[in-house]
Amino acid sequence: MTRRSSSVTIREVAQQAGVSVATVSRYINRNAPVSEEVAERLEQVMTSLRYAPHAAARHLASRKTYVIGILLTNIPSDFFVPLLFGIESVVRPKGYNLLISTGQFSGHDDTSLPIGPHNTDGLLVYADSLSDDELTMLHSSNFPMVLIHRTAPQPLNIPSVTIENKAATYKLVEHLIMQHHKRRILFLRGRSHQEDAYWRETGYRSALEANGIPFDENLIISGEFEREIAYKSMTQFLENGKQIAFDAVFAGNDDAAIGVMTALMEHGHRIPEDIPVVGFDDLRLSAFLTPPLTTVRAPTEEVGRIAANQLFNLIEDKPTEGITLLPTEIILRRSCGCLA
Amino acid sequence: MTRRSSSVTIREVAQQAGVSVATVSRYINRNAPVSEEVAERLEQVMTSLRYAPHAAARHLASRKTYVIGILLTNIPSDFFVPLLFGIESVVRPKGYNLLISTGQFSGHDDTSLPIGPHNTDGLLVYADSLSDDELTMLHSSNFPMVLIHRTAPQPLNIPSVTIENKAATYKLVEHLIMQHHKRRILFLRGRSHQEDAYWRETGYRSALEANGIPFDENLIISGEFEREIAYKSMTQFLENGKQIAFDAVFAGNDDAAIGVMTALMEHGHRIPEDIPVVGFDDLRLSAFLTPPLTTVRAPTEEVGRIAANQLFNLIEDKPTEGITLLPTEIILRRSCGCLA
DNA sequence: CTGGTTACAGTAACCGGTTACACAAAGCGA
DNA sequence: TCGCTTTGTGTAACCGGTTACTGTAACCAG
C-alpha cells in the first residue's frame, strides 16, 4: 500500500558518492571516461545501495528499450522451444530482453499491437502472426523487423529467415515414388496463406509432375499443420463414402503426421507396410514415434539464432541479408518403409 | 540514421483535438469522465495520427510496466510450451506483456537480474532459476512473485504453484511392485536442489518401505531430468562391471525416460518385457513413444494459468493461496507392462 | 436564491534517467 | 611559455507520459 517506490535512484547514488548524476550515468554506460578513484567509489556505493537503473527512465531518455519482441502464432507447438532457445541464445549475451506474444494480431485495427515500436527496439515476426498491412505500416516507420518462415510482401525490404521447403519436400515425395513405388500420395496441406505450406505443396506437385504422375485434387486434404485437425481430416477421409484410393501420406509437418498415424492405426492400417507416412520438421519427438518418422530436418534453433542476429544487424545499422534460406535435409526412418 | 523519433506524442494529440494533455491521458486511461464530444474528437485524432502511448513514459510516470516476467532454466524442454501458453492465456487478456528469460541466474552478484522490479510488475519464478538469496532480496522489497514447481524458502511468504509429486510417484512405484511384481526398481534422481526431484525420490522411497523392500543406494543413479544425461547414466550403469541387478526403471521424468529407453534398447533389453520403464510429466510425445510411456500426468498448462492468476492477485492486492498443489494422475500405458 | 456537490478541463510538477553545453585542470608540442 | 587538445566533471534541459491541485459551469436540495 505504501505508494512510495523505495527504489534507489541515480541521484542517491550520486550524492552518496559525492559526484553528479551525469558522472554516475557515464560510469554506468561507460560512454565517457571517469577517474579511477570515482569509479571505485561508485562501484562500492552502487552495490551497497543495490542500485539498479530504472529501465523505463533509461528507455525514455535514451530511446533504447534493450528489448526485442517476438510475435508467435497462438498454436502451442513444440516447434517453438528450439526457436525460442535459438533466439534467447543471441539476445541474452547482448544484454537484451525478450518480449513474447502469441496470437493472431491481424484485423483488429482498434487494438494496436501489444508489441511494437512503443516497447521494443525490434521485432521478430513468425509466419503470419502479422498481416501484410501491419508489416507495411511498421516498415514505413523504419522499425527493425525480421521475418521468420515468411518473406516480405513485395515492395517491402524486410530481412527474412526461412528454410528450404520446396526442394526437401520434392526429394521426400520423390523418395516415396522411386524407392517405395507409391503413386497416389495423399497430401495434407497447411493454411493457404502460410508460406511454408505453399512451398511444400509446390514441392509435392513438382515431384509428381517430374515423375509423370497426374495431380489429383482428391488427394489433397486439409491438415493445417496441427495434430488434431490432421487427425480429424484423415479420419473423415477414411470414413468418407467416396473411398478414394491412396498408398502413402505426406502429412505437411510432423505434428500433423502424428494425427495421421493415429487415425490410420485406428482404422487398422499398418505403417509403413500398408501406408507409409512422412512429415516435415523433425521435432524432437519424431525419432521416437512408432514407427520412427521419416521427415525433413529443419534447423529451427539456427533459424532463431540467425533471425535474432539479423535483427541486431538492423538495429546496429550493419548490413543484412535479404533472405536467408537455410538448408534442410531429409531424414529417412521407418515410417516411409526404409530401415525396416 | 534520422535520430528524431517521429512518433506522435500526447501533446500533439492534445493540440490537434484542442484539449489539454491531461484530458487526453484521462480519456486513454478512462480514469476520469470526459465529455462525449471530446471523446469522439480524441478517438478520431488518435486513429488518424496512429497514436500509440510511449510505454516507457507511461511506466515512468505511473510506475506500472504492464509487463510480467518469467524466469526459466536454460534447459530447452517441451515442457515449457504448455507452461508458457498457460501463462500467456491469462496475461494477454489482462493487457499485460510477457518478458521471458532463460538461464541460471544465481551466483552472479555482479550482474543483476535481467528481469526484476526495474522492468516488470511481477515475476514468475520457475524451479531453481533463482537462488534463495535472490528470492529473499526481492521479497524483502515486497516485489510480487509466484514460484512454479518450487516452494518458498522457510520464513518467506511467497505463493507457490506446484504439482503432487510424491503421491503420484508413490502410486506408480507401487504399481510396478504390486501389478508387475518388480522389486529392484532403478531410480534416476534429478538435481538434488530441485524440489520436484526431491519429492519424487521421497515417493519412491516410501513406496519401497511400505512394501517391505529395502532401499538400495546402488539402484539410484543420476538422471537430472534430461534425456542426454539419463542416456549416459543408464549406459554407464549397464556397462559397469558391477552389474547390479534391476528389474524396472523409474526415470524421474519423461525426458529422462526417453534416454533410458534408448540406452536399454541399445543393450538388447525389451521394454516392457525385460525391463518396464516409467516416467513423469506426460509430455505430448509420451503417448507416441515405442512403447507408449506409462507416466504421471502433470497439468502443466493449468500450472501456468494458476501461477499467472496468483501473480495478478498479488499485483492487485487480492488474497492469494500460499501453496497450490495441483493433482496429478498416473497414466498407464504399455511401457510398464500394462495394455500389452 | 443559496451553498454544496458533481462533471469536466487545464497547468505544471514530477517520474529517473541521458546528454548537450560549459568549464577547469592537466598534458603537450613548438 | 603559450595555445590547443584531452580528461574529468557539473548543471540543467529534456524524454512523454500521469496526476495533484485548481477552477469553472451546471445541477440540485432546501
In this prediction, residue B110 carries a pLDDT of: 45
Identity of residue B295: T
User: Position B138: which residue type?
Assistant: L
pLDDT in tens, B122-136: 999 998 889 899 899
Structure confidence at residue B49 (pLDDT): 92
Kindly report, residue by residue over A279-326, the tens digit of the pLDDT: 999 998 898 888 899 999 999 999 999 999 999 999 999 999 999 999
Inter-chain residue contact A101 with B117, CB threshold 8 Å: no
- Over the stretch B63-105, which tens digit does the pLDDT of each residue have? 999 999 999 998 888 899 999 999 999 999 998 999 999 876 5
| Average pLDDT estimate for B29-34 | 89
String of DSSP letters for B250-319: E-SSHHHHHHHHHHHHHTT--TTTT--EE-SB--TTGGGSSSPPBEEE--HHHHHHHHHHHHHHHHTT--
Number of other residues whose CB lies within 10 A of the CB of residue A103: 16
In angstroms, the CA A246 to CA A274 distance is: 10
Nearest to A5 among B1, B63, B289 (CB): B63
Listed in sequence order, the residues at least 6 apart from B106 whose beta carbon sits closer than 8 Å to its beta carbon are: B128, B130, B131, B133, B134
Q: Which cell numbers in the block locate residue B113?
A: 537480474
Residue with C-alpha cell 500460499?
B322
The rounded distance, in Å, linking the Cα atoms of A188 and A221 is: 5
* Confidence (pLDDT) at A1: 28
3 state DSSP class of B42:
helix
Concatenating the DSSP letter of every residue in A23-64 gives HHHHHHHT-S---HHHHHHHHHHHHHHT----HHHHHHHHS-
Q: How many Cβ atoms from other residues are within 10 Å of residue A323's Cβ?
A: 12
Q: Cβ A284–B78 below 8 Å, yes or no?
A: yes
B5 confidence band (pLDDT: 50, 70, 90): very low
Neighbours of A296 (CB within 10 A): 25
- Under an 8 A CB cutoff, do A81 and B82 touch? no
For A83, name the nearest residue in chain B, comparing CA atoms only. B76
Query: Which of B116, B141, B285 shows the shortest C-beta gap to A285?
Result: B285
What is the predicted pLDDT for the residue at B271? 94
**Over the stretch B173-224, which tens digit does the pLDDT of each residue have?**
999 999 999 999 999 999 988 999 999 999 999 999 999 999 999 999 999 9
Opening angle at CA A117, ends A111 and A120, nearest 5? 110
The answer for residues whose C-beta is within 8 angstroms of residue B140's C-beta and 6 or more apart is none
Q: Which band of pLDDT confidence, cut at 50, 70 and 90, is reported for residue B153?
A: very high
Question: How far in angstroms lies nucleotide D25's C1' from the CA of residue B35?
Answer: 14
Order of strands, sheet of B323-326, starting from the edge strand that comes earlier in the sequence:
A323-326, A160-163, A145-148, A122-126, A67-72, A97-102, B97-102, B67-72, B122-126, B145-148, B160-163, B323-326
pTM of structure: 0.91
Point out the nucleotide closest to A36 (alpha carbon to C1′): D8
Cβ contacts of B67 on chain A, cutoff 8 Å: 99
Could you read off the pLDDT tens digit of each residue along chain A, which spans 340 residues? 223 346 899 999 999 999 999 999 999 999 888 999 999 999 999 999 999 999 999 999 999 999 999 999 988 888 999 999 999 999 999 989 999 998 765 544 445 788 999 999 999 999 888 989 989 989 998 899 999 999 999 889 999 999 999 999 999 999 999 999 999 999 999 998 899 999 999 999 999 999 999 999 999 999 999 999 999 999 999 998 667 899 999 999 999 999 999 999 999 999 999 999 999 999 988 988 888 999 999 999 999 999 999 999 999 999 999 999 999 999 999 999 998 6
Longest CA–CA separation in chain B, Å: 86
Query: What DSSP element (H or E) covers A232?
Result: helix A227-239
Q: Which residues touch strand C (CB under 7 A)?
A: A 5, 7-11, 21-22, 24-26, 28-29, 31, 51, 53-54, 57-58, 60-62; B 18-23, 32-38, 57, 60-61
C-alpha B195/C-alpha B193 separation (Å) is: 6
Per-residue pLDDT, A108 = 44
Q: What's the CA B15/C1' C9 distance, rounded, in angstroms?
A: 14
pLDDT of residue B297: 97
Q: What was the pLDDT predicted at A110?
A: 45
pLDDT band at B285 (very low <50, low <70, confident <90, very high): confident
- The partner residue sitting opposite B290, judged by closest CB among A47, A116, A288, is A288
Interface test with chain B among A75, A81, A96, by most B beta carbons within 10 Å? A81
Q: Is A282 left (phi over 0), alpha (psi -120 to 50) or beta?
A: left
Burial of B35: CB neighbours in 10 Å, binned 0-12, 13-18, 19+: exposed
Strands (E), chain A: 67-72, 97-102, 122-126, 145-148, 160-163, 185-189, 220-222, 248-250, 277-278, 295-297, 323-326, 329-331
